[in-house]
Every structure is written in structure tokens, then in C-alpha cells.
């Protein structure tokens, strides 16, 4: 038997050799490929759980700011008299979120971009949109008193657990920690009769008391400080030159003011030395400033600060006569020339502004351009303001904030960027008209670097110094004045 085996092997040795070689190659290949095959199968079969967030949205002029979950469910499922808009891609998800059997006949399904455009176009329209689509052209409504952008994600009701095999979608799910709130307030003039009232009450935080908690809620608060802070000169109860004691800084600290703009026509009212005192005090108390400085290099230099994981850039320019312009070796503010305070708009100044914004954009995630400009006591912005604002946006500004007219002016959304032409007086003593006593706080919500929502909160100044939140009737009057002077469809 062994002899036969040896004979067979000898006769077929080459065939057996190649067969063995093939078996070895096959075994090596299987060992090498098998883990990758297992890995591929694992990825295909892996599913991830994430939460998709939604919000109701409407036009800014619509009076409703909040709806309940049950209200929304009724609008989607019952025979409602009004249309409600949804994205086509979210048809099944919204049905599951609200536990619906079927949609009522007036539910309209649109493509994603059509959905936002439809709501921004005009009032009396309501939609429910995934958070990724929402931008500042539409107003985000609260649900059961909770706003999507307010970092209350744990108790926010409009969210749906979903599964996906797309790991990237899970990584990009809504993260409330990436929401930033920047609060913008208008002219703060703590001199003249405001200073008188602070002395009367024996409290240099008195003007801020009714609004401090509200404006202190944000990650970043920005104000126009239109008065020098110095103890060299006692404030007068009359006249057009303003000054306030240095202890007035306590009010700014109470309200959580992070940044002040100084490029205006009153911050240098009492000369360079007093202005220098103001700069030193702000630095000492940790309040950043822009638009003013010990020389032109500082006054025209953009401010860059870090808040909530983002770099915020600010530029600030004044067009109103009466200010001291900074020079190479003297203190003052950043200036530019436009009508009505100059005979004509200066194209070189406009180029300087654009260059400043472009350079700031290279360093910052979000750029805020602030201008002191316009016609006093007039709600309509003039052509010169509009031209500068549009150029600022085109250069890369993410937000444009205007001050000086002492009344609110219209708003514009230009290239998806809000322009507040004037926020109105915030603290001042102009009680001779209702318009000069009223203004708005503009709360601007950013998700990562994207501006996603604007909240306009009206207030009214009382007792020559103290703003307080308005009642619904007063609020409507103020907002109607703004919308009536606004320049884009999403605000009128």
C-alpha cells in the first residue's frame, strides 16, 4: 500500500505541488479579507439614534410669539381655516412627532427652500421646519413657552427620536451648547437729567434696575455708550454736553454689558483728558470698547473677543458732527462722512469701512458693524445709511447695528443679514415725546456661526431715566412703527 502511495505521489508530484500552493494562497486570502468583510457588514447594519428638532416659524409682523403643542397638533389634523406649511421631506416625521393619523386638507407641502421663502414673503402664514433650515428671515415661535434657541433642549417639546446609518447626521444633530445670544441695546446717555435722577435716588444703578436681568441673559451684550465717565466735572441738568460720575459704571456692570461702542458725538464731549479717563475706567472694569481710543490706531482698530467658543469682531464708526476724531497722537473716535451731517458721502470713508470689515472677517467668526448715523427723530433710514449698510454686509458683516436718531427706525434683511438702522434711546431723559421714550432690545441668536433668529423686545423709558418692558398695546405701537419703516418683505 505504501509502495503504491509513493508511486502515485512520484507520478503526480507536480499536480500535488500546485494544488497545495493554491490551497495556501486561498487560505492566506481568506485570513486577510475576512476581518474587513466583517467590518463592512457591521457598518452596513449599524444604526444610530439621534434627535431631530423642529420649530414653528412665522412672519415677523405676525403678533403670535408662542403656540402650544396641542395647538399645533390641532392645526395639522383638524379642519383648520388656515393653511400650515411643511417640508415634503418631513411629511412622515411630523406625522409621527404629533401622533397623527392623517393631515387636514389645508396642510401644504413644499420643498425645503420654498418653505422658508414662503414664510418670509408675507404675514399670516405658519410653518413647522427642521432647525437646519431656519434663518433670521423668519420668526421662530415658542412651543409651550419654550424657545428652541434658548438652550432648554432637555425640555423642548418639538423633537423626534430617529435612527440612521449616517454617522455624519448624528454628529451634526442639534447641540444647544452651540447657541449664542447677543443682546443689542441703543443709546445709553447717563448724563444731564439721568444723572440728576441717579443723585436723587442715591443709586447709580437706578436706570438699569427694571431691565438688567433681561439684558443680562445673553452670552454677549452690546451697547452704545454715549457719555464720558469722569469725576472732574459735575453733570449739568441741561445743555447738549453730557458727562456722568465714574460710579455710573456700576449700572453697566449690573446689566452685564460686555462691549460698548464709543464712536458717537457725545463720548468726547469734555475733551481728550476726560475721554482718556473713560477709556481707562472701562479697561479697569473689564468692559471692552470699540470705535474710540488713545489714538487713531486704537480707535479704528477692530475689537476681537471670544465668547461661547466663537470669535466676535466689532467695527464702529461715527458720522455725527461734534465728536473729536482720533489722530496718530491724540485720543478720539473713529469717524466717517455721510449725509445729512456732511454735504456728500465720502467714498474713501466707505472703502475704509469695507476694508476694516474684510480684515476683521479674517480674524473673527461673526462680525458686527455698528454705525452712529441718520436723521434725528425720523423712523425712515435715508439713502446714505442704506448704502453704507449694504456695503458693510457685502464686505462680510453678519449684523449691522445703528444708533443716534433717538427713535426706532426700520429694519432690513439684506442678503439674509439683519440691519437695525436705529434701536432708539435705551437710557436718556427725552420725555418730551413718546417716540423718544420708546425703543427695542434686539436679541440675535446664532447657531454656531449662523444667525438663526431675531427677537425684538420693546421698552419704554419712565421718570427721565428708567426703561421698563412694555405692555402688549405699547409693544404693538412700537413694532408697527418699525415695520412701517422697514425695507424688506420679512419685516413689513
pLDDT tens-digit readout, 114-134: 999 999 999 999 999 999 999
Burial 96-112 (b: 16+ CB within 10 A, else e): ebbeeeebeeebeebee
Cell 458683516 -> residue:
397
Reading the block at residue 470, the C-alpha cell is 412694555
Average pLDDT value for the chain: 92
pTM score, whole prediction: 0.89
Task: Give yes or no for a contact between 389 and 112, defined as CB atoms under 8 angstroms apart.
Answer: no
Overall fold of domain 178-491: Purple Acid Phosphatase; chain A, domain 2 (3.60.21)
* pLDDT for the residue numbered 66: 96
Q: Per residue in 345-357, pLDDT tens?
A: 999 999 999 999 9
CA distances from 356 to 293, 300, 313, 333, 363 (A): 16, 8, 10, 15, 11
Task: Give yes or no for a contact between 398 and 355, defined as CB atoms under 8 angstroms apart.
Answer: no
* pLDDT for the residue numbered 43: 42
- pLDDT, average across residues 267-288: 98
Phi, psi values for residue 23, rounded to 5°: -65, -40
CA distance linking residue 487 with residue 390, whole number of Å? 12
Which CATH number applies to 48-174? 3.40.190.10
Q: Per residue in 65-94, pLDDT tens?
A: 999 999 999 999 987 778 999 999 999 999
Task: Give yes or no for a contact between 187 and 436, defined as CB atoms under 8 angstroms apart.
Answer: no
- Using alpha carbons only, what angle is made at residue 275 by residues 271 and 277, rounded to the nearest 5 degrees? 125
User: Could you tell me the residue ranges of all domains in the chain?
Assistant: 48-174, 178-491
Q: Per residue in 407-446, pLDDT tens?
A: 999 999 999 999 999 999 999 999 999 999 999 999 999 9
Amino acid at each position: 500500500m505504501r509502495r503504491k502511495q509513493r508511486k502515485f505521489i512520484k507520478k503526480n508530484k507536480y499536480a500535488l505541488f500546485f494544488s497545495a500552493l493554491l490551497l495556501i494562497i486561498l487560505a492566506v486570502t481568506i485570513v486577510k479579507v475576512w476581518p474587513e468583510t466583517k467590518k463592512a457588514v457591521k457598518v452596513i447594519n449599524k444604526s444610530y439614534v439621534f434627535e431631530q428638532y423642529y420649530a414653528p416659524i412665522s412672519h415677523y409682523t405676525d403678533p403670535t410669539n408662542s403656540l402650544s403643542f396641542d395647538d399645533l397638533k390641532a392645526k395639522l389634523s383638524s379642519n383648520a381655516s388656515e393653511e400650515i406649511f411643511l417640508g415634503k421631506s418631513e411629511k412622515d416625521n411630523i406625522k409621527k412627532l404629533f401622533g397623527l393619523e392623517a393631515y387636514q386638507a389645508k396642510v401644504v407641502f413644499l420643498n425645503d427652500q420654498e418653505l422658508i421663502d414662503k414664510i418670509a414673503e408675507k404675514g399670516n402664514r405658519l410653518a413647522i421646519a427642521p432647525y437646519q433650515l431656519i434663518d433670521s428671515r423668519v420668526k421662530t415661535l415658542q412651543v409651550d413657552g419654550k424657545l428652541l434657541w434658548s438652550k432648554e433642549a432637555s425640555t423642548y417639546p418639538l423633537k423626534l427620536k430617529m435612527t440612521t446609518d449616517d454617522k455624519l447626521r448624528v454628529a451634526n444633530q442639534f447641540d444647544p451648547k452651540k447657541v449664542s445670544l447677543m443682546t443689542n441695546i441703543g443709546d445709553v446717555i447717563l448724563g444731564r437729567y439721568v444723572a440728576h435722577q441717579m443723585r436723587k435716588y442715591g443709586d447709580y444703578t437706578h436706570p438699569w434696575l427694571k431691565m438688567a436681568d433681561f439684558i443680562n441673559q445673553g452670552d454677549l451684550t452690546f451697547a452704545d455708550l454715549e457719555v464720558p465717565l469722569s469725576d472732574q466735572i459735575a453733570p449739568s441738568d441741561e445743555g447738549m454736553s453730557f458727562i456722568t460720575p465714574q460710579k455710573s459704571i456700576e449700572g453697566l456692570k449690573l446689566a452685564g454689558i460686555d462691549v460698548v461702542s464709543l464712536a458717537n458725538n457725545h463720548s468726547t464731549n469734555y475733551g481728550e483728558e476726560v475721554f482718556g479717563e473713560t477709556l481707562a475706567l472701562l479697561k479697569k472694569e473689564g468692559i471692552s470698547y470699540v470705535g474710540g481710543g488713545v489714538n487713531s490706531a486704537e480707535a479704528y482698530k477692530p475689537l476681537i473677543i471670544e465668547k461661547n467658543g466663537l470669535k466676535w469682531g466689532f467695527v464702529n464708526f461715527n458720522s455725527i458732527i461734534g465728536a473729536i476724531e482720533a489722530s496718530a497722537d491724540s485720543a478720539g473716535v473713529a469717524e466717517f462722512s455721510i449725509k445729512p451731517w456732511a454735504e456728500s458721502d465720502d467714498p474713501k470713508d466707505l472703502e475704509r469701512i469695507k476694508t476694516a470689515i474684510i480684515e476683521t472677517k479674517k480674524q473673527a467668526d461673526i462680525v458686527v458693524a455698528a454705525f452712529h448715523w441718520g436723521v434725528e427723530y425720523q423712523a425712515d433710514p435715508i439713502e446714505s445709511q442704506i448704502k453704507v449698510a449694504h456695503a458693510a454686509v457685502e464686505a462680510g458683516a453678519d449684523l449691522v447695528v445703528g444708533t443716534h436718531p433717538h427713535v426706532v427706525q426700520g429694519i432690513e434683511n439684506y442678503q439674509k443679514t439683519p440691519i437695525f438702522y436705529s434701536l432708539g434711546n435705551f437710557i436718556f431723559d427725552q420725555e418730551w415725546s413718546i417716540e423718544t421714550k420708546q425703543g427695542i432690545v434686539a436679541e440675535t441668536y446664532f447657531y454656531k456661526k449662523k444667525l438663526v433668529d431675531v427677537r425684538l423686545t420693546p421698552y419704554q423709558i419712565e421718570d427721565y431715566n428708567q426703561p421698563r418692558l412694555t405692555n402688549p398695546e405699547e409693544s404693538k405701537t412700537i413694532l408697527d412703527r418699525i415695520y412701517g419703516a422697514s425695507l424688506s418683505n420679512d419685516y413689513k
